[in-house]
Amino acid sequence: MQVVELEESRKGLLKENQQPRESISGLQSQVQNPEMSISSAKISDGHGKHTSEQEELNSQIEAASALIDKLITENLELVEKVPYRFSSKVSNVLDLVPWFC
């Protein structure tokens, strides 16, 4: 019975962790697009015509990076809670989330 409950909890946590990973993946692609735009703008505009656009893109990148860091931290906190609930059955949180490595 405990094994079944542990397996159900593991599946639930994997589903919960999937959402932040999808968010992180989407945010990383959003971060990459402005970075590419900044690189293109720097190449095509050596004299700073698009400085305000670059500043806006930089602020978007910083905001996205901060959000990614927050999501990663929240995800780690969720993963760290697992051993406390099932400490007698689980010795390592990485056993529950092999994708984390």
Q: Write out pLDDT tens, residues 27-53.
A: 777 776 665 666 665 555 555 556 788
Whether 19 has a pLDDT exceeding 50, the answer reads yes
Helix (H, G, I), strand (E, B) or coil at 83: helix
Rg, C-alpha atoms of the chain: 20
Whether 90 has a pLDDT exceeding 60, the answer reads no
Q: What is the pTM of this model?
A: 0.38
Whether 15 has a pLDDT exceeding 50, the answer reads yes
Helix (H, G, I), strand (E, B) or coil at 45: coil
Taking all residues of the chain, what is their mean pLDDT, rounded to a whole number? 71
Whether 88 has a pLDDT exceeding 60, the answer reads no
